[in-house]
Structure formats: C-alpha cells, structure tokens
Structure 1
Amino acid sequence: MVSEELTEAEAKVYDRQLRVWGVETQRRLNAAKILIAGLTSGVAAEVAKNIALAGVGSLSLLDSTPCSPDAAPGNFLIPADFMASQSVAEASAETLREMNPLVRIAALPGGIADEPETEYLGGFDVVLLVQAPLHMQLAYDKACTDTNTAFFTACSRGTISYFFENLHVHEWTPMDAPSGAPLQKSLASFTPLESALQHPWKKLSPRYTHKLVYALRVCSEFELREGRRPALADADKLQHRARELALEARAEVAADYPRAPLPKGTIPEDVLPTEVLEELVTGDMELPPVSAVLGGVLANEILKVVSHKGEPVNNFFFFSLMDNIGQIETLG
C-alpha cells in the first residue's frame, strides 16, 4: 500500500526528483521492496547506490561472501577499513545506510541458494540477480514467475555486459504524459529467460541483431550441458555450434522459399565474430566504466518498474565497448 503522505524529511531529501517525477511516483518508490542477490559485482554496487539514493522503501542485500581485498574488486561500496568478519552484503549495507538513512537497508543472512524459496521471493517487488550461473538465473526466474515478482539478471565481463528482465505482464504509463491529460495505460507481456534463450535464429536479422545474442545462445547451451561456464579452450566448439545453428536457420528459411534464392538478410554461416565470443568467455574482470553504464541503465529500469512510469526494456539490454552503444533485443 502506497502511503498517503511523504514525511517532511522525505520531501526535503527528495525535493529535486519530486520536481522531475512528482509526488505519486515517489510514493510508489517509497513503498517498493527490492532484493539484490550477488554483491561482489560493480554492477550490483551501481544499482544499489542509485536506487537507494532514489528512495526505495526497502533494499535487501544477499551475499555471504566474506570481505577480503580480492573478494569484490568491483564493489566500491565496501570501505577500505572493512571488518574481516563482515560479508560483502553487510559491508555494502553500512555504506548505503550512510548514503540515505531514510531507506530501510538490510543484509540478509545466508548465501544465494541454487533453488530459491518461491514464497520468500514473493515478498519482494523486484529481485535482481547479478553475476550468477545460468542454472541459478533460470531457477530464480521461474520462482519469480510463480509469484509474479519482477525479475532481473545482469552480467558484466570485460568490455561487454547485458541484463535481462521478466516483468510477466506489466502495466505502464508514459514518462512524459502532458500535465492534466488522461493517463494512457499500456500493457507489456514478457517471456521467461529459458524461452528467450531459445529464440529461433531464423527470426533474427544479422544486420540489426546484436552479436552478443548469438554468443549468449551458444554459451548458455554449453553451460547447461557441461555445468560450467565456457573457457577460451572451448571457443572452437562454441563457434562450431554457432555455425550449426546458422545452417539450421538457413535450411528453415530455404524450406519457406523452395523455388527461390534465399532472401537478403538470411543469417550467414559466420554470424558470430570470434572476438565477441572470446570476450564473453574470457572477460572475467569487470571494467568499472562498463559496469557504471549497465548499472545506471538497470537502476533506471527498476525505478520505472516499481513506479509503473515509462516503457520498460523488453527484454534484453546489451552494452559493449566494442561498438559503444546500448541495444535492446526482444527475444522469445
């Protein structure tokens, strides 16, 4: 339930953003309950900082990784004088409380479960999982679907990064609706992560589709089959699989045009550039500028979701320094 009035302290602290998006939007933010699982990442730190400063109602952090100089090199929320007995979630929570004392910030006990409790996740409005193995992403996505909880998962590796969101069925209004005009509400339907990763290649346009789409598909197949992330030594196998999928897509298109040459834009055999694939499997270290860009866009998405204001990304967002652009892809 959104509270009827902002407190005097809230009105003073959030004065600038109240001028931008209004009291009703701030009320919605103040009532939102957000969970971020995985705090060793710079992306998670960026998102946590941005949504805490925006004034969400409560922010829960989940990551039992013990603090150490090497535990979370990308998380700038962990102070230099951290206590060795603290987890990265606890150390991050302390810094966030100092940034905005008005937000209820909690470091949850325990680690990130492979099989999350569905009812527990249902107590949040948004769940964000960062830098997690694919099987865990799929489990969280399913649990959030069962409880109609908005689900996000994000990854940043080297020069490339992306996030995925599943809002199930989401109602939103335009961000720039004219003052006094009746609100035009729209509905957006989303696809589960598993279905999105199985998007038919024959429906992709190689001219416009981000190359990370192809890389992510073959890497996700490998991870589910082998139970581990692919490494550089697996690049040839992954490239071979990409060619197989491309040939299958070409054959499917050819079946639709049995007496004509393949149409322009049909997926080529070499659709996946080697440098893109290698960066995805070898980019173990996060780059702060990449994490900052992805974290900023992702935090804004979460604020849009809980406020129901602004058209959401549906359903992947990719950002890479290779092309220095952010691109939305709707898969599934």
Structure 2
Amino acid sequence: MSTTITEDEAALYDRQLRLWGVEAQNRMRNSSVLIYSFRGVAAEITKNIVLAGVGNVTLLDEKDVEEQDFGANYFIREEEVGKKRVEASAPRVQALNPRVNLTTRTDASLLADETFLSTFDLVVLTDVDAPTLLRTNALTRKLGKKLYAASSLGMDGWIFADLLQHEFVCDVIKTVNGNEQVKVPTKSTNSYVPFESALKHQWSSLKARELKRTPDSLWGLLSLWAAQQATPDSPISDETLTSVATTFLPTISVKPTLLSASTITRISLTSSLEFPPSCAIIGGVAGQDVLNILGGKEEPVRNLMLFDGTTGAGTVWAVGV
C-alpha cells in the first residue's frame, strides 16, 4: 500500500489524526489483521478497526449463522440463518469503510497454516478455548507474529495478549523550567510471554489480603482453561470444573477455597453464552488495543485482563512476566 495518506483520507480520518498523529494512522493503514471466529466480541473489534482505517482485515470463521447469533452480532440478519457468518456479515462490514481491504475465509484449517498466518501483522482470536489459543500462540511465536485474544464468558470476559517485544509511545508528564508540567512523548518497550507461560504464573507473590480481594472469577477462568485442556471439546460441568479447580489451583499457589461454588456454577452454565453488553465492553477495549498495537501509541493490555460482569470492573494482571 501507499506510504502516504491521501487528501481524501486526511479528511475522512481528520479526528483520529488529531488524536494519534499521521505516523500512527499510516502504520494502521498499512497493517494486516486476521480476526478468527465472528461472534459478538469479534463484531465489535471489527467495527472499530474498520472505521479507524486499518488497511487489510481478514475474517476467518467456518460457522454458519444460527439463531443465537442475533443477540450480539449486529452484522447479521434473521434471513441469513444457514449462511456462513463472515460471508453474511461482510457487505455490512465493508459498508462501514470501503477503503479497507476486507477478505473473508471459511476454512478453519487456515488457523494452523504457517504460510497463511505469516501474511498478517497481528492475529486476533475471539471466543476460543485454551487448546486453540495454545496451538495458535505457538505458531505466532514461531513466526514472530503478535497475538491478541478476547472472549466473552456470559456476563464476564477476558483478554490475553502476547505481543512479543512491543514498542509504543505514550505521553509522560515531566516537569520543566522548575515547575511547569508538560506532556512529553516517550518511547517504551514491553516484553510479553506466551499463553503457556501465563497459565503457569505463580500467585504466591500476592499477599493473603490481596488474594482475598481478587475477584474469584479470575480463579474460575484459570480453572476453566485448565479444564478445557483436560477435557478438550467437551462441555464443562460443575463437577468437572470443581474437580479441576481442586487439583489445579494449588499448582499456581492459590487455595481452592478462594473459588466459590456460585462462581463455578455461573462459569459452567454461561461460559459458552454471549451477553451483548459484556461483548460490547470486551470488544470495545480489545478494538482500541488493536489500534494501539498497530499504531504504536499507548500501552496495550499487559497481558491478562478480566472483566467481571457482576461488578462491572475490569482488572489487568501482568502474568508470567
């Protein structure tokens, strides 16, 4: 693509050019992003990055439109049941910004194709289980590609990022001339770890008081990921999640008693469901992060975020680093 922004693009993206500058906008318009699984969270991410002018966006999803998709995915219509989700959604996504090069693919095996993945600057996984995230992250690491994942879990949701060595610029307030405070653009670099390392993070560094204040939905999420590895492609019941939590949590220095029975039940019942308001929050945060990653502006999530739908709070932990 062209390395300079045209006059028409400058007019179209005027407000965001004022926000993050020409260089960041140019990096975004020359970037290629893969988004896998097109449910509610992915719809929100896609909307945000297409409107912002990311140059090349590929949507990969092998699933057909089903009735339960209508609640959270606003790009599809009732009469499109049975069509491929991405193919049904593509015309409405493209209409948001005809300047974006939008591609749809429906062969899920491409997620394991190194040649295919190597063409992207950023791979975004949405609503995937732990085994899928582990396999794909191993490939993105091998290829030197950045990976970002986000998912809804009923009312809750999570984000995980493995951006390798990520360089970004943010404004730091500094004092000059004795007492005058000014914002100075400052370059920083963060190191990220693969999902495999994050799963083994030891929480012993947290004091007992901090552990008690930590939402137990975090221990539920970590136990869910462990259960998905132990029983891949199988529904997670209360009994399975309780059993896995009892054996898994001590391996990461967490007492199983910190995970309540009510949270176990909520996760086992709703982990595969979508709650549109939570999808909007998770997808909104993730979409802005994707723009930050591509544009090199501001610090993205590092590296695990949990949204607790019962309290409305989002908490970020640097795990495994």
| TM-score (norm: length of structure 2) | 0.87
What's 1:275 paired with?
Answer: 262
**Structure 1 unaligned blocks of 5 or more:** 251-266
What's 2:89 paired with?
Answer: 92
SS of equivalent residue, structure 1 residue 207: helix
Q: How far apart are residue 5 of structure 1 and its match?
A: 2.1
C-alpha change, 1:161 and 1:177, in structure 2 (3 Å) is: same
C-alpha change, 1:31 and 1:9, in structure 2 (3 Å) is: same
Matched, 1:212 2:211: no
Q: In structure 1, what is the Cα distance between the partners aligned to 2:77 and 2:173?
A: 42
AA paired with 1:238? L
What's 1:224 paired with?
Answer: 229
Alpha-carbon displacement from aligned partner over 1:2-54 (angstroms, at most 9, x marks no partner) = x4421122112111111211211111111111110101x10010000011001
What's 1:7 paired with?
Answer: 6
Matched, 1:323 2:319: no
Aligned-CA RMSD value: 2.6
C-alpha change, 1:249 and 1:23, in structure 2 (3 Å) is: closer
Answer with 24-33 or 62-71: which moved more. Answer: 62-71
For the 8 Å contact 1:222–1:229, the answer to whether it is kept is no
Q: How far apart are residue 211 of structure 1 and its match?
A: 2.2
> Which of 280, 283, 289 is the aligned partner of 1:295?
283
Answer with 27-36 or 130-139: which moved more. Answer: 130-139
Answer with 280-289 or 207-216: which moved more. Answer: 207-216
Q: In structure 1, what is the Cα distance between the partners aligned to 2:169 and 2:32?
A: 21
Query: Higher helix share goes to which structure?
Result: 2
What's 1:145 paired with?
Answer: 141
What's 2:57 paired with?
Answer: 59
Alpha-carbon displacement from aligned partner over 1:139-196 (angstroms, at most 9, x marks no partner) = 1111111112111122112111111110011111105689x98742211111111111
AA paired with 1:271? L
C-alpha change, 1:53 and 1:286, in structure 2 (3 Å) is: same
Report sequence identity in percent.
29
SS of equivalent residue, structure 2 residue 65: coil
Query: Higher strand share goes to which structure?
Result: 2
Q: In structure 2, what is the Cα distance between the partners aligned to 1:248 and 1:89?
A: 40
C-alpha change, 1:88 and 1:189, in structure 2 (3 Å) is: same
Answer with 22-31 or 205-214: which moved more. Answer: 205-214
What's 2:179 paired with?
Answer: none
1:25-40 matched pairs, under 5 angstroms:
25-39=24-38
AA paired with 1:294? I
C-alpha change, 1:330 and 1:201, in structure 2 (3 Å) is: same
For the 8 Å contact 1:210–1:327, the answer to whether it is kept is no
Q: In structure 1, what is the Cα distance between the partners aligned to 2:199 and 2:113?
A: 24
1:229-248 matched pairs, under 5 angstroms:
229-232=234-237, 235-245=238-248
For the 8 Å contact 1:219–1:230, the answer to whether it is kept is no
What's 1:258 paired with?
Answer: none
Q: In structure 2, what is the Cα distance between the partners aligned to 1:114 and 1:271?
A: 40
Q: In structure 2, what is the Cα distance between the partners aligned to 1:35 and 1:168?
A: 17
What's 1:259 paired with?
Answer: none
Q: In structure 1, what is the Cα distance between the partners aligned to 2:251 and 2:166?
A: 34
AA paired with 2:54? V
What's 2:154 paired with?
Answer: 158
For the 8 Å contact 1:215–1:272, the answer to whether it is kept is yes
Matched, 1:305 2:293: yes
**Structure 2 unaligned blocks of 5 or more:** 175-181
Q: How far apart are residue 70 of structure 1 and its match?
A: 4.2
Alpha-carbon displacement from aligned partner over 1:98-140 (angstroms, at most 9, x marks no partner) = 11111111112x3322861123212111111111232111111
What's 1:135 paired with?
Answer: 131
| TM-score (norm: length of structure 1) | 0.85
What's 2:119 paired with?
Answer: 123
C-alpha change, 1:144 and 1:308, in structure 2 (3 Å) is: same
Q: In structure 2, what is the Cα distance between the partners aligned to 1:157 and 1:269?
A: 21
1:163-182 matched pairs, under 5 angstroms:
163-175=159-171
